[in-house]
């Protein structure tokens, strides 16, 4: 438990073993990310388009969009990766595509976590064929030890150990997305 924060009282408190990143640390890092990425696009002639990859990145997107110091528009995409439930294969199917054309626009993919990087690598290739003016990636979390395909994000919120985490959008069997912090599940929740 690197932040030394006790698991807060409240929902799920007896299902979470430890806090990896507490709410205050998350929020202040997201403010920094919004300022840093905002500065990079300060001269953009049109609002940048943030693409949220559902569902995991939805909570991060909503805080990041407000922390960003330049105007943005938000778009949502849902993809499903073929393969077993614990590892992604890099073969991806689009479940929900963008509603709009991104040609000639500055586009930023907003990700919850880069694990193997396979899904993101596929997405980047797919979106680049639509001729955006620029295409970059912002991710809240990254597991450096798990990365198979280098995704070269503009910014990473936090590098974390190669362990399964939940909260702040990230789920285990659709649960725990509604936690305000990133934590590790109690091992008994897996069995
Ligand atoms: P990748 O293609 O990079 O291996 O897959 C990334 C996706 O796997 C993420 O968007 C996320 O949905 C899921 N994922 C990877 N690591 C974790 C984790 O530690 N916890 C949770 N809840 N999901 C994860
Ligand atoms: Mg994701
Ligand atoms: Mg998931």
pLDDT tens for 132-150 read 999 999 999 999 998 888 8
Q: Is any ligand 1 atom within 6 A of the Cβ of residue 185?
A: no
pLDDT tens for 77-123 read 999 876 655 566 677 899 999 999 999 999 999 999 999 999 899 99
Q: Is any ligand 1 atom within 6 A of the Cβ of residue 25?
A: no
CA 121 to chain centre: 14
Domain ranges of the chain: 24-161
pLDDT tens for 16-36 read 999 999 999 999 999 999 999
9-40 burial, b at 16+ Cβ within 10 Å, e below that, comes to eeebeebbeebbbbbebbeebbbebbeebbeb
* Backbone torsions φ then ψ of 28, nearest 5 degrees: -75, -35
Q: Is any ligand 1 atom within 6 A of the Cβ of residue 135?
A: no
Cβ atoms of 161 and 5 closer than 8 Å: no
What does the alpha-carbon distance between residue 40 and residue 45 come to, in Å, rounded to a whole number?
Answer: 13
Assembly ipTM: 0.94
Pick the CATH number of 24-161 from 3.30.930.10, 3.40.50.2020, 3.30.750.24, 3.40.50.300: 3.40.50.2020
Q: Which atom of ligand 1 is nearest to the CA of 176?
A: 22
Q: Find the helix or strand (DSSP H, E) in which 120 lies.
A: helix 118-128
> pTM value?
0.93
What are the residue numbers of the active site? 115
């Amino acid at each position: 438990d690197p932040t030394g924060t006790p698991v807060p009282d409240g929902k799920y408190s007896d299902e979470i073993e430890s806090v990896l990143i507490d709410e205050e640390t998350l929020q202040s890092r997201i403010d920094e990310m919004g300022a840093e990425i905002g500065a990079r696009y300060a001269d953009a002639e049109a609002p940048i388009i943030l693409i949220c990859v559902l569902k995991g990145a939805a909570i991060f997107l909503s805080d990041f969009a407000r922390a960003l110091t330049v105007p943005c528009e938000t778009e949502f995409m849902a993809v499903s990766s073929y393969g077993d439930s614990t590892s992604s294969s890099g073969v991806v199917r689009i479940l929900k595509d963008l509603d709009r054309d991104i040609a000639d626009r500055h586009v930023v993919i907003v990700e919850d976590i880069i694990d193997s990087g396979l899904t993101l690598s596929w997405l980047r290739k797919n979106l680049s064929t639509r001729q955006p003016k620029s295409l970059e990636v912002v991710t809240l979390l990254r597991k450096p030890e798990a990365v198979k395909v280098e995704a070269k994000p503009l910014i990473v919120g936090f590098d974390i150990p190669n362990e399964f985490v939940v909260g702040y959008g990230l789920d285990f069997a659709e649960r725990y997305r509604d936690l305000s912090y990133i934590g590790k599940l109690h091992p008994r929740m897996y069995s």
